[in-house]
Amino acid sequence: MIRINLLPVRISKKKLEGRQKLVLAVLVVGLVFVGNYFWSSSRASDLAARQEKLRRTRDEIAQLERIIGEVKNIKAQQAELKDKLAVLDKLRAGRQGPVRMLDDLATIIPARLWLKKFDEKGGAVTFEGSAATIDDVSAFMAALRHSPYFANVELRKTAARADGRVKLVDFVLTATANYTAAPRMAAAAPGATPAPAAPAPKAR
């Protein structure tokens, strides 16, 4: 009877299986390392891209803040320039306005009316004078109201008196001066309707 020893064969198979398992484990570990490497690289690239985007956003914000600051400075300079121009216009009006107002006043005084006093304080004007009749005082008031240099014209006082054989009416008027008014045309436009005269005040 022939006997065959199968023990070495079994040992060889176990060694082969052990080697295969070892190789498989090495491959699995290698794949894990490779996968981890690619995953880490991907995450690092993504993080770098996000950081770069954040940097660009911060740069854009800083640039916009600089532009906003420049715009604010320009607006502040414009406001300062407007204030200076307003002051210059006021000074110019303060120099030219009274001259134009007096020139206009000289053209609207009725022929039979005389001014004895012209007083102006802070834009408040007081007229004191005499006229031949109360109608002349009324015509003067209407002319003042029609003038661009005067507003809020009011009759404060009238008094009739006799100067020898001549009867006169003393009066006191007040108004508000407007030095910044534009000069009016020397003559009314053709076909324009003249301003209605104010009703004649009664002598007191």
pLDDT digits (tens, 9 = 90+) for 84-122: 777 666 656 556 678 888 889 999 999 999 999 999 998
User: How far is 46 from 44, CA to CA, in rounded Å?
Assistant: 5
What is the pLDDT at residue 130?
A: 95
- Identify the CATH homologous superfamily for domain 92-177: General secretion pathway protein M, EpsM (3.30.1360.100)
Q: H helices of the chain, where?
A: 7-108, 134-146
Q: From residue 116, give the alpha-carbon distance in Å to each of 39, 98, 99.
A: 104, 18, 19
pLDDT digits (tens, 9 = 90+) for 120-155: 998 899 999 999 999 999 999 999 999 999 999 999
Predicted TM-score of the model (pTM): 0.47
Mean pLDDT of 36-54: 83
> By C-alpha distance, which of 137, 145, 122 is closest to 172?
137
Interhelix angle 7-108/134-146, rounded to 10 degrees, is 160
197 with 139: CB under 8 angstroms?
yes
Choose between 152 and 10: higher pLDDT: 152
